[in-house]
Amino acid sequence: MPDAEGHPAVDEIELVSVLAALADPLRLEVVQKLMAEADGAERHCTSFGLPVSKSTRSHHFKVLREAGLITQVDRGNSRMAQLRRSDIESRFPGLLDAVATAPD
């Protein structure tokens, strides 16, 4: 059962949800940018420079969160995103390597 913020437990992360989340080019870009960061790094959700409205940006991060790809935490009045790298790798070995090398 997802936690209060909508983060699924590792064993609840489903491949279909992950692939559906990654099917959108903007969400794929977010994950690829997080992969380029050090493990455990957090980024402000606005730092990705997505060319969409605030509500659409929130929707994209909600899809990533509910798919289990990212964790979001509140830091003061900011919301930060962190890739669930070890969770995804343990659940679907090699998936993030494929995402990292996906053509634009």
pLDDT tens across 42-71, in order?
999 999 999 999 999 999 999 999 999 999
Residue 2's pLDDT is what? 62
Mean pLDDT of the chain: 92
- Which CATH number describes the domain made up of 8-91? 1.10.10.10
pTM strictly above 0.75: yes
- With a cut of 50, which residues of the chain have pLDDT below it? none
Could you tell me the residue ranges of all domains in the chain? 8-91
| DSSP string covering the chain | ---TTSPPPGGG--HHHHHHHHTSHHHHHHHHHHHHSPTT--EEGGGG--SS-HHHHHHHHHHHHHHTSEEEEEETTEEEEEE-HHHHHHHSTTHHHHHHT---
